[in-house]
Amino acid sequence: MTGNAEGGPNEPYRQSNVAQRTVLASHMGRVADDDRISWGGGSAPSLPSIDDDPRNDDDAMSITESVKSSTMSLDSTLYHFVEENGRTYHKYKQGRYFLPNDSAEQERLDLQHQLFCITIGGKLNLCPLPKSPKRVLDIATGTGIWAIEFATQYPDTEVVGTDLSPIQPHYLPENCRFEIDDAEDDWTFSEPFTFVHGRALLSCFDNPSRVVKQAYENLEPGGFIEFQDALFPMYWVGEPATASALYRWNELLMEGLRRIGRSWSNVVNYPRYFEEAGFENIVDRRFYWPTSPWAKGKYFKTVAMYFSEDMISGMEAISMKVLQATGMTPKEITEFCEEVRKDFRDTSLHAYLTVSYIYAQKPLNKS
């Protein structure tokens, strides 16, 4: 299922540490300035091209160190969860979501938050929101970092985050709160929202179209929905490196996901789900994450280092349950993941992941 560029898409706070957020904001601001140059007036970047200049290796190394120092370990000892293979998982609706929720995963999710933001110039969303949205919902909020940052940027907006795991911090902006909830259940909110946001949802739902329909029903007329998600499988610039662990991991991952009933190729259907629910003004913008800093330009190198660190730190968490569905043992998976991690540092492997930022609007004349 892994393809090359020709077969690919058409286009190519944590609040507990104020000093950390200040450093990140400064770093993201610098990246945003570079983005405006790289994107050419705000358009999405084209497919990454290979960087053959060895003099740029030092830049990649400095970016790597910045990425590694930009997150902190998070405390999840306040709750009891289900433990498997040395990791903890949500207890509410046990098994619905197959990734862990322990401190290591929370740290990875916060780093992934930075990756999604840096991809679009340090912003939290792309849809054209009003200056002061009344109510905003973040589904599958994870650590709650997106909701908290949104609440901080919009102090007059009521921000609600929902998730299966109660891993969000206790010290929050006054206008932000979290609820343990399953977005696939019936929504029971008493007031409509101005904006419904969801990110990295590809592992979350059995029936994403139902979630989209409920978002439509719970939005005020003129309100927006935005989903930000990765589009698997990965693609390659040039011929795929079929002998690499990265290629085999991508193939095994897609097969395992098929067997457990969670398609990571489903993101291409999001625009259709939006249209079927009744949304209009649908926009699907594609961005690209190289697997290592093999691509030209500061923008792609920065994105690549965040993405590779995200994958390296989360490799076993992502792979364990999925690859067991293919018949691999936990020991085999652990050993295999070590090989794949090496490939996420290998600049001779020119693979990339496509990411979609899809938003749409509920018609003004609909209740």
205 within some domain: yes
Nearest Cα to Cα of residue 73 among 111, 110, 103:
103
Q: How many domains does the chain have?
A: 1
The Cα–Cα gap between 330 and 233 comes to 23
177 within some domain: yes
Give me the residue label for tokens 């439509």: 216
Confidence at 19, pLDDT banded by 50, 70, 90: very low
pLDDT score for 37: 28
Q: Which of 7-11, 99-103, 261-265, 335-339 has the lowest mean pLDDT?
A: 7-11
105 within some domain: yes
Can you tell me the mean pLDDT for 25-53?
A: 49
Could you tell me how many residues make up the chain?
367
- Sign of dihedral through CA atoms 341, 342, 346, 349? negative
50 within some domain: yes
CA atoms within 13 A on the CB side of 102: 14
Can you tell me the mean pLDDT for 53-79?
A: 47
pLDDT score for 367: 58
323 within some domain: no
- CA 78 from chain centre, in angstroms, equals 25
pLDDT averaged over every residue in the chain: 79
Phi, psi of 89 (to 5 degrees): -130, 165
pLDDT score for 346: 98
CA atoms within 13 A on the CB side of 298: 16
The Cα–Cα gap between 152 and 143 comes to 15
Give the domain range for residue 161.
Answer: 3-243+264-311+353-361
Percentage of residues in the chain with pLDDT exceeding 70?
Answer: 71
53 within some domain: yes
Omega before residue 233 within 30° of 0, cis: yes
CATH of the domain at 179: 3.40.50.150
91 within some domain: yes
250 within some domain: no
Q: What is the pLDDT of residues 254-303, one digit of tens each?
A: 999 889 887 777 889 999 999 999 999 999 999 999 999 999 999 999 99
Give residue 4's identity as a one-letter amino acid code: N
Confidence at 90, pLDDT banded by 50, 70, 90: very low
